[in-house]
Amino acid sequence: MSVERALEGTGTWLDDRLHGARGARVLLRKVFPDHWSFLLGEIILYSFIILLLTGTLLSLWFQPSMTDVIYHGSYVPLRGVRMSEAYASTLNITFDVRGGLLLRQIHHWAADLFMAGIMAHMIRIFFTGAYRKPREINWLIGIVLFTLGLLEGLFGYSLPDDLLSGAGLRILEGVIQSVPLVGTYLAFFLFGGPFPGHVIIPRLYILHVLLIPGLILALVTAHLFLMFHQKHTQMPGKGRTNTNVVGAPMYPYFMAKTGAFFFFVFGACAVAAALVQVNPIWLYGPFNPVAISAGSQPDFYMGMLEGALRIMPAWQWVVFGHTFAFNVFVPGLLPLGLLFTGAAVWPFVEQWITGDRREHHVNDRPRNAPARTALGMAVITGYGIMWAEGANDLIADHLDVPLYWITWAARVGIFVGPVIAYIITKRICLGLQRKDSHLIEHGVETGIIRQLPGGEFVEETRPVDDERLAVLTSRADLPPLPSGETTQTDVPAPGMRGGLGRVRERLYKVVTESVPVASGHNGHGDGRAIEGNGHEGNGHEGDGHDRAAVGSGTSSPDAEDGHA
């Protein structure tokens, strides 16, 4: 009772000052749709919180200084060795602070999880078309967050000033230096003079602990606010439309579930940190510009850049006394540049091609947008090949394959792989659409064979249940192109003239290629109807029939039965 009184008292006190009852009530009852893939975004948020917690603790001991010191700490093999204060303090955190190694490892695993979460979340958003209007802004914020995450990870990885991270910084310097016109200057400004200098660690530190996390926090807040304001998308299902949200209320369901999920994410990081060693900097030794270790690898999210550097042939121009180091700045800037730019403009390109400027709140099933899904798979394949090439030496070592073969395979694969992935994915999507169509039209096979009086054997089918039918028929019909161009008799509509119009027309055909939506025979009405084995001859499944159903997108139960 007293708790209730206290709560009510607090609530009243707050409401008297904030006038929050109405808004807070709406908030408590806010509906959150449920799907496992919606958890991916939460992984990112929670690993970010874990990063803030562990990072704050680590900063109590870490010394972002490049001053030379002689190590006298607990780690015997490095006693008496000259190293930077940054490296020495990292050793100190590891071996002389209780729980320090755990904090470091949780921090590192959470960072990896953060980046992995971003990638998985982006892939989910892309394949389900959740970036479509009105969520383009959030998609763009997400891309910026991805970029910031890459930088944050790279800088944080560099802070301990161990041999591996120093080699990473050296590579960064080489890449920056290769940029035409301004590269040398940029490198000198960043490093405060020639590499390695004495300022890079303190500079990266303040970027890593203040500027970038601040930006990330601000953008995450904006991201979540927009998500809240626009309401979550939902997966297709019975009763789910573009004008509603179906799910469980935030209070108490979502709050409890998401709280549990935070503990899961934190627990997973703790398990990894307890059992799986990550970045054992004491084994690498302090940075010095002369040493390197074989098989050195960056964190996984930088692997794609590393692979791009390895894959690139040795091309370079020297023109009028200036060097264009294509071998470095092309792989350093182009792949990620293409990826981020492409991702950023895609929602708008897709809108331009399809002319679809409606709001979408029900997600696409990936199969229902074959071109988009195929494009996504092509990008993932290209990314994956570059990423794997980033470990070409390890692959060569473990699989006992000549190193250069792998690089050559990647050089070819980077062009061929995405094309193959595109074609195969598109075929698979269209095949799955056909399967859906078949289910809608003919129902589910029951495995019961019945003999007709005439001697013919047929299999019974049963209609798809409503929930499933709603999913199967969820494909959104796309609006036709501005009239004129499809009939090919008229003058093209405005916006469809000239070269750009023709490009759009062709792209429209590619993007909208789909198997016609079945009109929903669904087991032929009574659900016990009999499906002939040789139904091709029954004349109700011909092309003409299916075409008539294009774009209907609805599932009006159709009792008409061609042959029963």
Partner 1 sequence: MSNTNPPDSGDTAWQEYLTGGGASAGAAAAGGEGAAPPEGPAAPHRVIGTPPPAAARTMLPASGDGGARPPARELPPDPDDPVRARKAEFVVVACFLLAMLAGLGFLVAYGLIGVGSVTATLHSNLALGLTLAAALLLLAIGAVVWVRHLMPTVELTEQRHPMASDAKDKRAFKETWEEGAETSQFVKRPIVRRSLIAATVPLGIAPLFLLRDLGPLPGTSLDTTVWRKGLRLMTYGTNPPRPITPAEFSSPGGLISVGPEGYLDDDDAMAKAAVIIIKFRPGELQFAPGWRPVANKVVQNWTVDNIVAYSKICTHVGCPAALYEQTTHHILCPCHQSTFDATQGARVIFGPATRPLPQLPIGIDSQGFLIATGGFAVPVGPSFWERS
Question: Binders of partner 1: how many residues, by CB under 8 A?
Answer: 121
Q: Smaller CB distance to partner 1: residue 44 or 406?
A: 406
Task: Choose, by CB under 8 A, the member of 41, 64, 100, 303 that binds partner 1.
Answer: 100
What is the phi/psi pair of residue 319, to 5°? -125, 125
Cβ at position 235, least distance to partner 1 in Å:
13
The answer to whether residue 49 forms part of the interface with partner 1 (CB under 8 A) is no
What is d(CA 409, CA 457) in angstroms, rounded to the nearest whole number? 53
Residue 198 CB, nearest approach to partner 1 (Å): 8
> SS3 for 323?
strand
Among 298, 23, 271, CA closest to 168: 298
Count of Cβ atoms closer than 10 Å to residue 445 Cβ: 13
Q: Are strands 444-451 and 322-324 parallel, antiparallel or unpaired?
A: unpaired
Q: Which of residues 253-272 bind partner 1 (CB under 8 A)?
A: 253, 256-257, 259-264, 266-268, 270-271
Enumerate residues 296-335 that contact partner 1 by CB under 8 A. 296, 306, 309-316, 318, 321-323, 325, 327-328, 331
Distance CA 164, CA 176 (A): 19
Q: How far is the CB of 312 from partner 1 (least distance, A)?
A: 5
CB of 98 to partner 1, least distance (A): 5
Cβ(307)–Cβ(389) below 8 Å: yes
Chain residues 195-224 in contact with partner 1, contact rule CB under 8 A: 195-197
Cβ proximity to partner 1: between 134 and 498 the closer is 134
DSSP string, 155-215: HHHHTT-BHHHHHHHHHHHHHHHTSTTTHHHHHHHHHTSSSSTTTHHHHHHHIIIIIHHHH
What is the SS3 string spanning 429-474? HHHHHHHHHHHHHHCEEEEEEEECCCCCEEEEEECCCHHHHHHHCC
Q: Which is nearer to partner 1, 251 or 493 (CB)?
A: 251
Site for partner 1 in 335-374 (CB under 8 A): 359, 361
Question: Does 102 sit near partner 1 (CB under 8 A)?
Answer: yes
> Tokens 């700490």 sit at which residue?
73
Minimum CB distance to partner 1, residue 320 (Å): 9
Interacting positions 8-27 with partner 1 (CB under 8 A)? 8, 12, 15-16, 21-23, 25-27
Q: Which is nearer to partner 1, 130 or 312 (CB)?
A: 312
Query: What residues from 391 to 410 belong to the interface with partner 1 (CB under 8 A)?
Result: 392-393, 403-404, 407
Q: In the block, which residue shows the tokens 């007709």? A: 452
For the bound state, the minimum distance from the C-beta of residue 33 to partner 1, rounded and expressed in Å, comes to: 10
**Cβ of residue 524: shortest distance to partner 1, in angstroms?**
31
Min CB(74)–partner 1 separation in Å? 5
Of 104-143, which residues contact partner 1 (CB under 8 A)? 105-106, 134
For partner 1, the binding residue among 290, 400, 453, 499 (CB under 8 A) is: 290
CB 170 within 8 A of CB 241: no
Q: Write the CA distances from 499 to 349, 486, 505, integer angstroms.
A: 16, 16, 10
Residue of the chain from 37, 230, 351, 486 that contacts partner 1 (CB under 8 A): 230
Among 31, 215, 432, 471, binds partner 1 (CB under 8 A): 31
Q: What crossing angle do the helices spanning 370-389 and 403-442 adopt, rounded to 10°?
A: 160
Map the footprint of partner 1 across residues 150-179, applying CB under 8 A: 167, 170-171, 173-175, 177-179
* Residue 170 or 462 having the CB closest to partner 1: 170
Query: Can you tell me whether residue 522 is helix, strand or coil?
Result: coil
Q: Residue 299 Cβ, how far from partner 1 at the closest point, in Å?
A: 15
Burial of 275 (0-12, 13-18, 19+ CB in 10 A): exposed
Smallest gap from Cβ 105 to partner 1, in A, equals 7
CA distance 513 to 212: 42
